[in-house]
Amino acid sequence: MAPDDDKKSASYTFARYSQIAFIVPGAVVAGLILGGLVDKWLHTHWVYIAGVIFGAIVGFIQLVRMLTAASDKN
């Protein structure tokens, strides 16, 4: 293995793990924002909670998918 391959695989590994670290918080924030917009549109005060919960569920599902795909490659 050449030294360039080590650097490439290290940067690839770092990028993969940083992507995994931002999936769940990003999905929760997206759910919060979309839920807040729906709250303003429908003049309610509870839809943002459903958006946060939905975002967390979607984030964890995507996290599990990425981790199983990464373990299948190894």
What is the largest distance, in Å, between two alpha-carbon atoms of the chain?
61
* Neighbour tally for 48: CB within 10 Å: 19
As a whole number of angstroms, the distance between CA 51 and CA 42 comes to: 14
Q: Which of 6-10, 11-15, 18-22 has the highest mean pLDDT?
A: 18-22
- For residue 35, pLDDT over 90 is answered with yes
pLDDT grade for 5, boundaries at 50, 70 and 90 = low
Q: What is the pLDDT of residues 38-66, one digit of tens each?
A: 999 999 999 999 999 999 999 999 999 98
Cα–Cα distance measured from residue 49 to residue 52, given in angstroms and rounded to the nearest whole number: 5
Question: Sign (positive/negative) of CA torsion 59, 64, 65, 66?
Answer: positive
pTM for the whole structure: 0.76
**What count of Cα atoms within 13 Å lies in the side-chain half-sphere of residue 11?**
5
